[in-house]
Amino acid sequence: RIEQIRKDEHFNALQVKFSYAITCHKAQGGQWSNVFIDQGYMTDDYVNSDYFRWLYTAVTRATQKLYLVNFPKQQVGEIPYDMF
């Protein structure tokens, strides 16, 4: 089975480099060049003052680039292309 996976053209189409992830709580006090924030599991029920404190902490960990993953458009808005 492992040999089949190694030979699968779709499985090997994307080369992935090792990385790591930590929680926002654990990230407090640290900063990184690139930060990804995935909000995929949160619903509107979670949007309260605690959520905005969490989001502030997460956003301020990035020093160069911030990637917002799975954020609803009503929270992010339209991002102009000339920002990049």
Domains of the chain: total? 1
Looking at residue 46, its pLDDT comes to: 83
Residue 1 lies in a domain: no
Q: What are phi and psi of 37, to 5 degrees?
A: -115, 115
- Measured distance CA(61)–CA(22) in Å, rounded: 12
Distance separating alpha carbons of residues 64 and 31, to the nearest angstrom = 10
Domain housing 78 = 18-83
Is residue 29 domain-resident? yes
CA dist 13 → 6, 44, 47 (Å): 11, 36, 38
Q: What is the pLDDT of residues 34-66, one digit of tens each?
A: 999 988 777 778 889 998 999 999 999 999 999
Q: Is residue 40 part of a domain?
A: yes
73 belongs to a structural domain: yes
What's the whole-model pTM score? 0.65
12 within some domain: no
